[in-house]
Amino acid sequence: MAGVSSASEAKVLGELEPSLATASLSLAEELFSVLSTVDSSAALRRALTDPSREASAKSELLASLVRGKVSEPAQQLVSSLATERWAAPRDLGDALETVAATVTIAVAENSAAGATGLEKLENDLFSFNQQVESSHEVQRALSAPQASVEAKVKLAFALVPQAGDPAKVLISQAVSNPRGVRPAKLIERFATLAARRQERWIATVTVSRPLSESQQSRLEAGLNNLYGRELKVNVSVDPALIGGVRVKVGDEVVDSTVIARLAELRRQLVG
């Protein structure tokens, strides 16, 4: 996905983030259904991504197709996507797929204690791919053009009877509308999205010398309070840091080590 499309996707995901705490699987399923509509027409995709067309016109075009068929939140999301700029017609569908998968993953995150729910989802997706990759017969059945979507979904669910509802939504999407790739490949992409979201619950802490039990307890309590959630804290020791602590949670890095301060001082001197 080119830079302009990546920026558009990131913008919509950023707007979506505050509402993910109350996300529902029905919303994800609605978004996936809109994706099927978008994928069904090359002319529609071109119209929705035409840079010479007004954003409001593109938004209204897509809204006219889904109005009355999906909920208001789903309509607002797809309208937001339609108003953004896309480098290629397929990029809009790719972004819509990511948004729908993100909603599904957030439901798993909310269903249990954060990282625990995400771990369950990842395990379900991994189990499905294991079953698929271990049987050429299953692979042929899932890709057979003459087989109905209902039959493929039924077979997929039978492979992982223990899967939770979020995993079933993603597995159903992968086998019913893989969008030109193998279902297992799309499941890998969904699992990667879940893993990235799980990183938000893991704090990687690097210190210059080992912490005592009381120091680690205070550190964990402080980080939980700072981020407003119960984080899994992984501590490693790197004497090269000289002193201080480096904390990484998701994409955010807080570095108070001596090395970092010296590097900043050097930048100031050079500047």
pLDDT in tens, 159-199: 999 999 999 999 999 999 999 999 999 999 999 999 888 87
Structure tokens at 80: 């937001």
Angle CA 90–96–101, to nearest 5 = 130
Q: What is the pLDDT of residue 245?
A: 86
Closest to 35 (Cα-Cα) out of 86, 95, 84: 95
Q: What is the pLDDT of residue 269?
A: 63
Type of residue numbered 182: R
Residues in the chain: 271
Cross-strand pairs, 207 = 237, 245
Residue segments in the chain with a per-residue pLDDT below the cut of 50: none
pTM over 0.85: no
Q: What is the pLDDT of residue 1?
A: 66
Cross-strand pairs, 203 = 233, 249
Closest to 190 (Cα-Cα) out of 103, 74, 84: 103
Q: Which whole-number Å values give the CA distances from 21 to 15, 108, 110, 127, 223, in the listed order?
A: 13, 10, 7, 27, 21
Domain boundaries, the chain: 3-198, 200-270
Residue 245 three-state SS? strand
Q: Which whole-number Å values give the CA distances from 176 to 67, 96, 170, 195, in the listed order?
A: 23, 16, 10, 23
Check if the beta carbon of residue 131 is closer than 8 Å to that of residue 159. yes
